[in-house]
Every structure is written in C-alpha cells, then in structure tokens.
Amino acid sequence: MLPTTTPKENKAEAGKVPSYQSPASKTIQSLTDRKLKCLSVLVVDDETTIRLLLRVAMQKEGFRVIEASNGVECLSLFEQERPDIVLLDAVMPEMDGFRCCAALRETSQKIIPKSEQKGATPILMITSLDDSQSVEQAFAVGASDYVTKPIHWALLRQRVRGLRDSIKRRQAEAQIKKSLREKEALLKEVHHRVKNNLQIISSLLSLQSNAVEDENILELFQDSQNRVRLMAMIHEKLYQSNDFGTIELSGYIRDLSSHLLRSYRIDQTKFCLEIDIERIYLEIDTAVSCGLIINELITNSLKYAFPPDRAPCPLGQINIAAKLTDSNHFSICYQDNGIGLPDDLDIENTKSLGLQLVTSLTEQLGGLLDINNHQPTEFRLSQLSLSS
C-alpha cells in the first residue's frame, strides 16, 4: 500500500501549538528555505516493486529520486550524482548491501573533499535481516541507520526526515560560514580603503602646510595631521587583524607614541618614553577616543613641557600606564617630568583644544579626570568604560 497522508493527520498537524524558534534557528531555516538545493536520494533495491514504493514515498517528502537495481549500478550513480541520502537494500545479487555500503564509504572519501566529509552521506539500510549480527554488521560497514522489511512506512518517513533535517542544517551552516567569510573580506577591504583615504587627507594637509609661514597655523596643521593619522592607525590595525571588532590598546599606543616622536623630531637620546599597559581590548569607538586622549597629552608634553631653556635639564621622560580595574572598566595614568602646567589653569574652561578634548572624551567614556600639577605632572583617568 502506498504511503498517504490522511485528513486526520492534517487535523492533528493543524492543532499543534507552534514551537519556539530562536533567532539562530530562524536564520538557518530562512537560508534552508531560500537558498539550498533540492535534496536527492539514491534508492537501491533489486526488486522493482520496492523501488517504486520507495520512489513514491521519497517524492512525497520532496526528494529527487535516483534508482539503482544492484550494487555495481549504485556505485556508478553515486559517483555521478553525489546523492544526499542512500536507501540501500542489504540482500542483492552480485554485490550485497553490506559490501556496497563499505564501498560507498571508501568511494566517498575519494570523491568528496575533506572539508565536506564531516557529514558523510547518510546510508539507511532496508532489509529483511533483523538478527543482531546483521544489524551490527550494517553499522560496522558504515550504515547510518537500519530499517527492516516489511517496511514500516511511518517509521521510514520519520528516519528520512531526521536525516534530511540534519543535512539541511549542515548546508545552512556552511552557507552562513561562507557568507561570514565574504563579509569579513569585504570589511577588511573597507578598513583598507578608509586607512588609505585618511592617509591621503594627512598627505594633503602636509602639502598644504608647505605654503604656510605662520608658526601658529603650522602647528594647527600638524595637530590636525596627527589626529587624522591616529584614526588611520586604527583602521590599519583592524586591516591587519583577524578581529574586526576590537583593538589591543598597548600596541596601538606604542605605534601612536612612536609616530608622534618622529613627527616632532624628538632626539630620543635625550628623551625616555615608558609604556606599561596591560593586555586590554577596546571597541573601535572607545579606542579612537582613547587614542585621541593620549595623542593630545603626548602632543601637549612635546610642545610645552620640555622647553630648551628649562633648568635643571634632566632627561625628558613620559610614562603611560593603563590597567583593568574590573571587568567593565580600565584606568590610564599619564605622567611627564616637564615644567608642569600653568598654576592658573582651569581645566573646565581652558582655551586649549587639546585639553578640551581630553576633558570631553574622558566624560564620553564615563570616566573621571584628576590632574596633579606637582612633579611629575600627572593626568589620572579612572573608571573608563571598555565599551562605548
């Protein structure tokens, strides 16, 4: 008797309460419904009637059906068609199902790429042999499941649906991974182009500054160049990294500091820069804000803290330290041994754009700013948020 769906079964289906699906499950289901190919099943049985019944049953389940009447034909069609599921009779002339199953497993290792072999083609054996030895032998040669004859059609449908769902989930996951790799490649290219565009802007500022003779305006050009450069550094590091979401603070600050020392042509035999930063990872927006703060503090020190005529004139020194204070916050301590800040400095109402940026960006990161104007001059930023 051919498998059918009765009105009673339809009513039962209609009365079911829909089960909860997580967003991830819905994404996979969406990909499954829209992008995945129609699955195929290879039906192998020497009896024409059984093949007919299996073909009708599998077509009702939405499969494309391929038929083979013996083991040799099965192996040939398996190589040509690469079916998603094999329904294999155990008792056949010439080559029985057990030998055929072992040969299928060997063939699949040769023709299917290693990256795709994790989910080997499911082989469901259908046979009248139901003794324990035959069942053990079936699994030993590589069968995925086992159904006995006479065929219990509801059970067979259930087993095949399980295999189908597993295959579709694997295909959907592969599609998601492929899509993710494509997006990562695109994002990497975006960071590369942004970095290049920022470097072009920096170069244009440099060229424009060649036509400027006023020292104050030249300083403004140089400050703007350095701010653009620090943002380009962020995208350069993201381009070189496998993690496009976070920046490692220590390496970023070291690169930024080295750039500023070169930019201001500092004689490093008369200057010492010490950096002691824990391994801290920041989101991009937080890293930009943090980089701007350090940029302004180093720039301020290099421009004003070490005048040539200061006496006594020890080795110029800047210390930068940062550490995690808890799972959500970090702190920065910046020091220099220069001449110090003006005694009448009001940090809340300063006209210095650099110090205004330090104040506003510290607030933006949810932190507190404490300034000590005694030797060494110290800027202590605490309770800075790791994420924006």
Full DSSP string of 224-259: HHHHHHHHHHHHHHHHHSS-SSEEEHHHHHHHHHHH
Domain boundary, last residue among 117, 143, 176: 176
Split at pLDDT 50, 70, 90, the class of 269 is confident
Q: Are residues 261 and 383 in the same domain?
A: yes
CATH code assigned at 39: 3.40.50.2300
Split at pLDDT 50, 70, 90, the class of 7 is very low
CATH code assigned at 337: 3.30.565.10
Return the residue matching tokens 């104050």.
216
Q: What single DSSP character describes residue 16?
A: S
Q: Are residues 135 and 262 in the same domain?
A: no
Q: Are residues 47 and 162 in the same domain?
A: yes
Nearest to 297 by CA among 239, 245, 246, 362: 362
pLDDT average, residue stretch 163-181: 83
Cα(189)–Cα(202) distance, rounded to whole angstroms?
A: 20
pTM comes to: 0.54
Find residue 382's DSSP bridge partners: 368
- How many domains in the chain? 2
| Residue 17, token pair as written in the block | 């309460």
Q: Are residues 164 and 275 in the same domain?
A: no
Q: Are residues 294 and 386 in the same domain?
A: yes
CA trace torsion 228, 233, 238, 240 (10° rounding):
140
Q: Are residues 170 and 286 in the same domain?
A: no
Q: Is the dihedral of CA 230, 232, 235, 240 positive or negative?
A: negative
pLDDT average, residue stretch 137-152: 90
Range of the domain at 355: 246-388
Whether residue 25 has pLDDT greater than 50: no
Residue 230 lies in a domain: no
Return the residue matching tokens 């653009």.
228
Q: Are residues 150 and 270 in the same domain?
A: no
Q: Are residues 32 and 164 in the same domain?
A: yes
Q: Are residues 147 and 270 in the same domain?
A: no
Domain boundary, last residue among 143, 176, 209: 176
CB atoms within 10 A of CB 103: 18
| Helix, strand and coil percent figures for the chain, each rounded to 5 | 55, 20, 30
Whether residue 108 has pLDDT greater than 80: yes
Helix (H, G, I), strand (E, B), or coil: what is residue 202? helix
Which amino acid is residue 4, in one-letter code?
T
